[in-house]
Amino acid sequence: MVGLDIFALPSTKEAKKKKDAAKAGTPPKTTGTQPTESATNATAGIPIGQTNDSKTLSGLPKGTQIKGAGTATYEKGAGALKFANLSLDDRATLLLRMGQIPGLYATGLAPTPDFISKQIKSGSIVPRDVDFQALEKIAAISDWSGDTTDNTIIKLSSNRAMAEQFFGKVTPAVKAVTSYSAIEADLNSKFLDLFESKPDSGLIKAYAKEVNALESSKSGITAQQKEDILLKYVQKKANDLYNLNQTGMAPGTTDKGALGRYVRNIRTAYNNNGIPINEKQIYSKAVESLRSQDAYKNVLDGVTMQATAILPAFKDFFAQGKTAREILSPWINLRSQILEIPEDQISIQDMYNVGSGEKAMSINEYKKMLYASDEFKKTNAFKSRSTNDLQALLRAFNIGGRG
């Protein structure tokens, strides 16, 4: 049969001769035209003393010709060998491409950009056993396609349908959502703090449905989105209570979204004046503010009174409606420049000493204090100055070269 030489059977006489020789315990004689086994192995590139009986990744003997493709080449260990011959950058690139092939890895095991980035920062790229196995799956396909492993990876990563035919369809993992019982317990706790009563079951179910819907969505739920949903239902409860229990309320005091605005404004007022407060207190004060504009104004006036007590040197400015952050702006700017800290990362609580006395600390006094602080010694400016001082000292004593 033409073209199937590798499967051709030996002649009957030759087979009988080998069988008789095996019984006699002597090897069969070879003619001058027949190569010895060692010579055959040497020609095939196999070290003398070994036989060509190794199997490739798809189970074929190594060297088997695959019609329409090439020669069966890749054996067990091909994955590790491929990685071993790559530079660190090429290893990282290969892992990234493999991680983009759907179904090649089990869920959660595909190499991610973040995982590879961390390895690069550590100074090494260490493939895992699952990476070797994944690359060998691709190498087995390459044997039969007659293509290189690199080209096979590119084709599989850019053609999802093709990859799914080889590795199976990837079903998106179902996102975990907060259980109804956990949501109920959390909402009960918040409502008891705010209203001294629990929410009704209908409100809990509606709240849980909205939260779970976002949790299971493709983008998931953010902390801000969850707070917005909570605010909506807290305000609904507040509207029901105050409209039932209070008369003569000003129209619009509990308009939709009012509670959210109050929460954000009150939180900002406390932060800008450097007054510690927890979320429970903020919500309580915001719900209290829903009753009327006077109630809201009383909350903000309370913030100003506390700020005046902490920073008495600025009481006149507080009386004008300014916040501690506005008043302390020159000192904050100076602190930012000297200590190399962005202004928005400087807490008002770190500035108490500026205005805690009868008179505010002068800019020059504050500058001297900052330069003498331990925090300044950690700055680049201090380190640079220290280095320059040392170099000047060495030059003065003619120590060290100019190099």
pTM more than 0.85: no
Determine the pLDDT at residue 173. Answer: 62
Determine the pLDDT at residue 15. Answer: 47
> Is residue 386 pLDDT above 70, yes or no?
no
Which of 89-103, 159-173, 263-277, 307-321 is predicted with the least confidence, judged by mean pLDDT? 159-173
> Is residue 215 pLDDT above 80, yes or no?
yes
Distance CA 308, CA 301 (A): 11
SS3 77: coil
pLDDT tens sequence across 342-378: 998 899 989 999 999 999 999 999 999 998 888 888 8
Who has greater pLDDT, 54 or 157?
157
Determine the pLDDT at residue 68. Answer: 85
Joined together, the tokens standing for residue 283 give 């919500």
Percent of the chain whose pLDDT exceeds 90: 38
Determine the pLDDT at residue 282. Answer: 86
Which of 93-102, 237-246, 280-289 tops mean pLDDT?
A: 93-102
Determine the pLDDT at residue 399. Answer: 55
SS3 75: strand
Distance CA 239, CA 257 (A): 12
Asked if 70 contacts 143 with a C-beta cutoff of 8 angstroms, the reply is yes
Asked if 65 contacts 6 with a C-beta cutoff of 8 angstroms, the reply is yes
Joined together, the tokens standing for residue 92 give 């990282």
Report the candidate in 307, 333, 325, 265 with the shortest Cα–Cα distance to residue 316: 307
> Is residue 13 pLDDT above 50, yes or no?
no
Helix (H) or strand (E) holding 19: helix 12-24
> Is residue 4 pLDDT above 50, yes or no?
no
Q: What average pLDDT does the chain have?
A: 79
> Is residue 112 pLDDT above 60, yes or no?
yes
**What is the average pLDDT across 134-145?**
93
Asked if 196 contacts 138 with a C-beta cutoff of 8 angstroms, the reply is no
pLDDT tens sequence across 18-41: 555 555 555 444 444 444 433 333
Determine the pLDDT at residue 17. Answer: 53
